[in-house]
Amino acid sequence: MATRAVVSGVVAMAAVALVAQPQARAEQAAPLTVPSVKSWTPGGTGFTLGVHARVLYAGDGLRDAAVDLADGLRAVTGNDVVAQSGSSGGPGDVVLRNGPVVGAPNAPESYRIAVGDTLDLQGSDTAGTFYATRSALQMLRRNTTIPGGTVTDWPDYRERSLMLDVGREFMPVDMLRDQIRRMAQLKLNLLHLHFSDTFGFRLESVSHPEITAPEHYSKQDMHDLIEYAARYQVEIVPEVDFPGHMNGILAAHPELKLRSAAGVVSDSAIDISNPRSYDLMRDILEEFLPQFPGRYWHLGADEFLLQGTRVVSMDEYPQLGEYARATYGPQAQPVDAYLGLINWGAEIVRAHGKRPRIWNDGLHTGEGTITPDRDIVIDFWSRAGIPQLPLPFFGNARTASDLIATGHQVKNAAFTPTYYVTGRPATIGNIPAPLAYELWDPTLFVDGTRLAPDQNASNLGSGLHVWCDDPTAQTPARIAASITMPLRVMAQKTWGPAKPVTYLEFAALADAVAEPV
């Protein structure tokens, strides 16, 4: 407790020091934002927000961004700011437009802010222009005058995410909306919702109403949330976990639970040797895939045979080997039943115009005759896989480098430090935000290996993964408060540069500008 108090005091002093820095320093350095900007060229006339300023938008597609910026500027400055259609402003006005961003590496989501009599915000696409408004709001939040110059900015990684485990702990829609607005302020672009796990299936099902948990999201809830997220340039990635972590579904279908040769029944794993299991899984996919308009569907595929802390051998389930040989040929191994399921699900996802994703821990070196389809994105969190050793740092799961070499794109979802777990033993992996800031970046994977630059081109990015192993440990409000700094650190690490200032300076600046208004 004493250490936390000291750190808090130092952060507070750093905040005061940052706010009190002489104007001369601000004129020489890049404007301060979270995440920090890539390029700043000082020079020319500075900008002062008009007392009666306009936010002009060139095209209806930018109207929402202009309205949000005007609302934010009114809230943080007290100036009378309105949003209007138009492409030419006067002194003290802000102009939003889309167009090529000179100096950026032809990257989506890039933007330029030209600081002069007017503040000119131009994005390579609508997302880029929106992110320009977030940077402008952060700059003007601290001072309504910005020194003259040009910001050019773009992300290091395509995916900058937050995952919430709503399958174990239901999180109200209002909390999800709050996190979307927080993500937008930090230029995070993917909200991964883990809808199904130990304590419930959280989506309203028409085809199988018996699996819907008492606390769940209605069809209308999801429709509205998807639209809300899109306004803030956040894409929702849905996950319904197969063939493990299916407690919330299998409670209504005990006849489909996987049973060992010794008669031990799994509450979490579905029997993938039973054709009726595929009927149920297909029904779920076919019902919910059309509901989500984003690019991805996450099939889960993690910890299929995990019982407690023990990874059970497939040899305990002879029906899996029998099914694999009957379906894929006499040379098939028991694990091929699992690998074939992944490709089976991926084909359904693909038929709906989306790209499949899975977790990596079930893909083991040298096992199986079936190769997972190359277009499947692998969220890499663990090297586990050896029976009796479910630790994420060791094991025989294929490495990130190996998966990339065989054609997959990966996302760095390292157990440490990208996980925040609310309770139970896995909380040991909750690395303090200062350590993550100082010691980690998205090229460093959970087993200590680091991708080379050419390999990292296949690394989509990273983010914060919130797991509610014990749903009684923290309330949703407490979770939201606890992830404040980890989320900011992940935003900085995935947008880049990875560590522009000391952690104390970063934390103080983030406290001043990083929360939505």
Q: Which of 428, 454, 432 is nearest to 443 (CA)?
A: 454
Q: How far apart are CA 122 and CA 101, in angstroms?
A: 7
Query: What is the domain partition of the chain in residue ranges?
Result: 2-153, 159-497
Q: Is 105 exposed, middle or buried (0-12, 13-18, 19+ CB in 10 A)?
A: exposed
Burial state string for 200-222 with b = 16 or more CB within 10 A and e = fewer than 16: bbbbbbeeeeebbbeebbeeebb
Q: What kind of architecture, by CATH, is found in domain 2-153?
A: 2-Layer Sandwich (3.30)
What integer pLDDT is reported at residue 311 of this predicted model?
72
What integer pLDDT is reported at residue 107 of this predicted model?
85
Kindly state which CATH superfamily the domain 159-497 is placed in.
Glycosidases (3.20.20.80)
Residue 427 corresponds to which tokens in the numbers above?
């909380």
CA 191 to mean position of chain CA atoms: 5
Residue 113 corresponds to which tokens in the numbers above?
């802010």
In which residue ranges of the chain is pLDDT below 70? 1-28, 308-310, 385-390
Which residues have C-beta within 8 Å of that of residue 199, sequence separation ≥ 6?
167, 168, 169, 213, 247, 248, 471
**Residue 355 forms beta bridges with which residues?**
296
What integer pLDDT is reported at residue 19 of this predicted model?
42
What integer pLDDT is reported at residue 55 of this predicted model?
98
8 Å CB contact between 60 and 102: no
Distances (CA, A) of 306 to 243, 303, 314, 506: 11, 5, 11, 40
What integer pLDDT is reported at residue 106 of this predicted model?
85
What integer pLDDT is reported at residue 394 of this predicted model?
87
What integer pLDDT is reported at residue 271 of this predicted model?
98
8 Å CB contact between 411 and 158: no
The Cα angle at residue 170 between residues 164 and 173, in degrees rounded to 5? 80
Helices then strands (H, E): number in the chain?
17, 25
What integer pLDDT is reported at residue 374 of this predicted model?
98
Q: How far apart are CA 508 and CA 34, in angstroms?
A: 11
Q: DSSP class of residue 450?
A: B
What integer pLDDT is reported at residue 166 of this predicted model?
98
What integer pLDDT is reported at residue 308 of this predicted model?
65
Q: Which helix (H) or strand (E) holds 73?
A: helix 63-77
Strand residue runs (E) in 105-166: 111-115, 119-123, 145-146, 149-153, 159-164
Count of C-beta atoms within a 10 Å radius of residue 86: 15
Tens digits of residue pLDDT in 173-185: 999 999 999 999 9
Counting Cα atoms < 13 Å in the Cβ hemisphere of 72 gives 28
What integer pLDDT is reported at residue 12 of this predicted model?
38
What integer pLDDT is reported at residue 8 of this predicted model?
39
What integer pLDDT is reported at residue 28 of this predicted model?
59
What integer pLDDT is reported at residue 395 of this predicted model?
87
The reply to whether 2-153 and 159-497 are identical in fold is no
